Amino acid sequence: MALAIDIADAVAAELAGGTFSQAFTPRRLVIPAHELAELAELRVSVVPKAMEIAGASRSLSQFDVQVDVGVQKKLGSDLDGEVKALCDLVDEIAEFLRGRALAGAPYATWVRTANEPVYAPEHLVEQRVFTSVLTLTYRAMK
């Protein structure tokens, strides 16, 4: 639905205006797939995930929209140090968005953030790629 894409676009725009310990350009994507070579550079992908609609009143519905923010990077030799630094970045992103009004979607209110996986061990083992996903839930009424 267009509402989920609009909110994902607004999240990407907020992240683009933020200041973080590591530089990145967030991109709202339809499919968050990257070639391994592309992950030499830090990638932050914003993807609409799910929407739940419930009745709020006779004439109003509540839309809970989930947006995933994926953080990915191919790691070098200092696995522990790089994973720690990227986990810190994921925490910064979560804190930056927590409770923040979205300029591009002022009708949406932040509800919660989940971080699952904190990082994907299978990506580290198989490809030495750090992958962490924040799932943000925003609520809109209409």
SS3 63: strand
The CATH number corresponding to 2-141 among 3.40.50.10490, 3.40.50.970, 3.30.2000.30, 3.90.25.10 equals: 3.30.2000.30
Q: If you compute the radius of gyration of the chain from its CA atoms, what whole number of angstroms results? A: 16
Domain boundaries, the chain: 2-141
pLDDT at 1 over 80: no
**Which residue's structure tokens are 């990227």?**
86
pLDDT digit string (tens) for 49-59?
999 999 988 88
pLDDT digit string (tens) for 81-136?
999 999 999 999 999 999 999 999 999 999 999 999 999 999 999 999 999 999 99
pTM of the model: 0.94
